[in-house]
Amino acid sequence: MIGGGQGAFIGAVHRIAARIDDEYDLVCGAFSSDAEKSKASGILLGLPESRVYTSYQALIEKERELPEDERVQVLSIVTPNHVHFAPTKMALENGFHVILDKPMTFSLAEAKELEKVVKASGKRFCLTHTYTGYPMVKEAKEFVSAGKLGKIRKVYVEYPQGWLSTFLEGDNQKQAAWRTDPGKSGIAGAMGDIGTHAFNLAEYVSGLHVSKLCADINIVVEGRKLDDDGAALLKFDNGASGVLIASQVAAGDENNIKVRVYGEKGGLEWKQDEANTLLIKWLDKPAEIWRTGGGYLSSFAAHNTRVPAGHPEGYLEAFANIYRNFALSIKADMEGKTPEKEWVDYPGIEEGVRGMAFVENVIASGKSDKKWTDFTI
């Protein structure tokens, strides 16, 4: 693991996700750019001192030299955005598979460069767009892709949060500080942090690609340096339209990501606060409540579920599904087998490039007087 030292939120989440299905062992880490802190974190995590490094460069260089059956195979990179590209590139080029936290890079240019690196490396690459790990999100995708709603006409996606309603970065709150710092997050705040999740969820479930958009991007809290709020009208490649909302100043909201897709015959709705439910709505018959664990679900949902219906699985299990599928895919590769289609259903480089293109396009649109901005990569 690179990043994720003491006090980091998402690093701990990655480690739990990796442990849940017992497909990974934590064997080494460079947990902080601060050498002392990296050491301390590694020891707390039970690693031998020899495998705790003071920089990602050191980690990659030293691990590469270890015997194959000893050295780390997959690197989880959970640093802030501005330290995504370089360690990922170096890791891939030195023969490691990589799991990277989103958004993928600091800029679209880095993203496109990384795409080339991934392709050249022959290594697997995974981007943790967590919400696509939920079994009922996978079911939604399957449902749409099987044509059960007919041609898709509308996609609404929203991610309202309230935690940045005040000038939290003024109190040096760690999570707020880097997310609102253009030097660490890039050109976007809310749009990069949660807008990319919403965008990814909309494209994943609908199976469509955004082709143009029209955005209103705001800094609501005085003194903040990056957007903390925004919305965009969307056009998709099949002619469908939609709306994307992402806000960090929706005071009182938690992490209420929600997606709705409507086709000619019906619609569907999924939201994180009832994560184990997929609502299917029909023009002319009763709506249906599809539930994690239901015997009627597709192999995509079934494969990503651990306990019987009614025992809720949550965010950590969704995260773990991504980790597990990535591991299963790598193991299949190593055994010379073709991984199952359910295993390779994890977000990767294409989603990462599109996510960074979303960031650049949505911010550009926010600054433009023109209504529509083409979605360019």
Q: Which stretch binds its own copies (CB under 8 A): 74-82, 182-190, 272-280, 339-347?
A: 272-280
Task: Output the smallest distance, CB 122 to its own copies, in A.
Answer: 27
Question: Which residue in 107, 166, 211, 298 binds its own copies (CB under 8 A)?
Answer: 166
Question: Which residue in 46, 67, 223, 336 binds its own copies (CB under 8 A)?
Answer: 46
Residue 214 engages its own copies in binding (rule: CB under 8 A): yes
CA distances from 252 to 14, 166, 316, 323 (A): 26, 12, 23, 31
Looking only at the bridges linking them, the beta strands covering 125-127 and 97-100 are parallel
Binders of its own copies among residues 307 to 326 (CB under 8 A) are: 307-317
The strand pairing partners of 245, in sequence order, are 158, 231
Q: Which stretch binds its own copies (CB under 8 A): 14-22, 53-61, 80-88, 340-348?
A: 14-22
Residue 355 engages its own copies in binding (rule: CB under 8 A): no
DSSP per residue over 161-200, as a string?
--TTSS-GGGGT-HHHHHHT-HHHH-S-SHIIIIIHHHHH
Residue 93 engages its own copies in binding (rule: CB under 8 A): no
Distance CA(360)–CA(364), nearest Å, equals 6
Taken as a whole, the chain contains a residue count of: 377
Task: Output the smallest distance, CB 243 to its own copies, in A.
Answer: 5
Question: Which residue in 282, 337, 341, 350 binds its own copies (CB under 8 A)?
Answer: 282
Distance CA(161)–CA(253), nearest Å, equals 5
CA distances from 5 to 169, 178, 286 (A): 20, 15, 50
CA distances from 114 to 38, 105, 107 (A): 26, 9, 11
> Strands, E, within 20-86: which ranges?
74-77
- Using only the alpha carbons of the chain, give its radius of gyration: 20
Residue 223 engages its own copies in binding (rule: CB under 8 A): no
| Residue written as token pair 């697997």 | 124
Q: Which is nearer to its own copies, 207 or 294 (CB)?
A: 294
Number of residues that bind its own copies (CB under 8 A): 84
Residue 341 engages its own copies in binding (rule: CB under 8 A): no
Q: Which is nearer to its own copies, 14 or 141 (CB)?
A: 14
Task: Output the smallest distance, CB 97 to its own copies, in A.
Answer: 20
Q: Which stretch binds its own copies (CB under 8 A): 55-63, 77-85, 266-274, 349-357?
A: 266-274
Residue 289 engages its own copies in binding (rule: CB under 8 A): yes
Q: Which is nearer to its own copies, 43 or 283 (CB)?
A: 283
Residue 371 engages its own copies in binding (rule: CB under 8 A): yes
Binders of its own copies among residues 16 to 45 (CB under 8 A) are: 16, 19-22, 45
Q: Residue 316: CA atoms inside 13 Å, Cβ hemisphere, count?
A: 13
Q: Which stretch binds its own copies (CB under 8 A): 51-59, 81-89, 107-115, 213-221?
A: 213-221
Q: Which is nearer to its own copies, 67 or 295 (CB)?
A: 295
What burial class does residue 36 get, using C-beta atoms within 10 Å of its C-beta: 0-12 exposed, 13-18 middle, 19+ buried?
Answer: exposed
Task: Output the smallest distance, CB 58 to its own copies, in A.
Answer: 24
CA distances from 99 to 15, 147, 295, 316, 342 (A): 12, 32, 32, 16, 18
Question: Quick one: which of 77, 95, 94 has its CA closest to 85?
Answer: 77
Residue 120 engages its own copies in binding (rule: CB under 8 A): no
Q: Which stretch binds its own copies (CB under 8 A): 34-42, 72-80, 98-106, 278-286?
A: 278-286
Instruction: Give the pair of three-digit tokens for residue 345.
Output: 């259903």
